[in-house]
Amino acid sequence: MSRQDGSARQVTQGVVNDDGAHILHIDMDAFFASVELLDYPELRGKPVIIGNPEGRSVVTSATYEARRFGVTAAMPVSKAIRLCPQATILPPHHERYTEFSRRVMAIFRDATPLVEPLSIDEAFLDVSGARRLLGSPAVVGQHIRERVQRETGLTCSVGAAATKFVAKVASGRAKPDGLLVIPPAETLAFLHPLPIRALWGVGAKTEESLLRIGLHTVGDVADTPLATLTRAVGEATGRKLHELAHGRDARSVVTATAEKSIGHEVTFHTDVADPARVRLEMLRLADQVAARLRRADLFARTVAIKVRFEDFTTVTRSRTLAEPSNVGRRLYEEASELLAALELNGRAVRLVGVRAEQLTGEHDAMAALWDPDEEWREAETTIDSLRARFGGQAVRRASLLGRKGNDTAGGTRAPSA
């Protein structure tokens, strides 16, 4: 969820020279919240928070009206309610977000094949080849905005510029429901008044280092000698910020990226001191990770776990498999051994996660005379087929029965890739 709350909205008015501004960054406006409001049109224009109000659930999204009270994504819902007590709380429905994302990305690809999704609700587009069919970058951006709203009921914001970095900054300034074109000749005039946080890679620590040497705006960074920057924030970061502050970003739109890892984690509503319950949740997470691996025709060479204790101490452990696998039971067996090695000794667990790493498209075991996971593999691929036909909850492990839906652990789930 963007930190933008719409209070500094800037949009392009009238005709603009958009020659060379062929990179679009398109970001859906308060995506999860907007999808939910399709069913609650009476709540439009009001503060709405997407999340579960009980336990330790975190904010999935919020309308711009709620953001103006300081509500942000990943904030505990309990804190969000304190900041904005008049907000309406709606539960999330992730399967709907996935479906709307698919529809929106299809609209993007109708405009140009050069689409680079960044997440479920944003993407870069290179529309340099769409001029003859659809028009200039500004026209293409407006065409996409109108089509998204007409076909989905949702709105998006578009930034158009010569580089990915400037286009992304522009889309943030255009929120909500706006289009902002930055002609190449006006790039520095647009960037330099912005605060240093507008630069990619400037988080709290880097910002503190830059402020310490008197830099407050992007223009300040541009005017600072490279040697001074590198002394303040390091060689790599200093060079990157120096380039960005001058509007230079050589990256092109990449249409396909290989996933480096796939993981799922869950935050329990109440701390869990029972190792059996933690292992049960690990089994569920391992199944989810394996299913995603199989859908992508990928195999994991490494399995990693993440455990956060009640005092927020977080540990991670990993091990390399003898053979790459996308079988949930194999991932669980390895994850369970990693968990046992932690020797919990009654320590209460707040969060647990399972991750597949070092992904590959090849499965060494397939070439072997004997596949040690053959029975598990056959069972899980059969389950995949049944779920594809009858729904995700149609078939479940017997050990996971007796708990409800996606809230089986009484916690907040977070898939990641």
Mind telling me the catalytic residues? 122
Least Cα distance to 295 among 357, 397, 381 occurs for 381
CB 305 within 8 A of CB 355: yes
Q: How far apart are CA 366 and CA 252, in angstroms?
A: 37
Q: Is the link from the previous residue into 76 a cis peptide, with omega within 30 of 0?
A: no
DSSP E strand stretches across 29-185: 48-50, 61-62, 88-90, 115-119, 122-126, 156-161, 179-181
**Contacts of 346 by beta carbon, 8 Å cutoff, 6+ apart:** 273
Residue 34 corresponds to which amino acid?
A: S
Q: Could you identify the residue written with the tokens 């690809």?
A: 109
CB 245 within 8 A of CB 210: no
Structure tokens belonging to residue 284? 């569920």
**Contacts of 199 by beta carbon, 8 Å cutoff, 6+ apart:** 218, 221, 241, 244, 245
Q: How far apart are CA 254 and CA 80, in angstroms?
A: 37
For the chain, count helices (H), then strands (E). Answer: 15, 13
CB 290 within 8 A of CB 328: yes
Structure tokens belonging to residue 182? 């930055």
CB 253 within 8 A of CB 124: yes
Residue 398, Cα to own-chain centre: how many angstroms?
Answer: 32
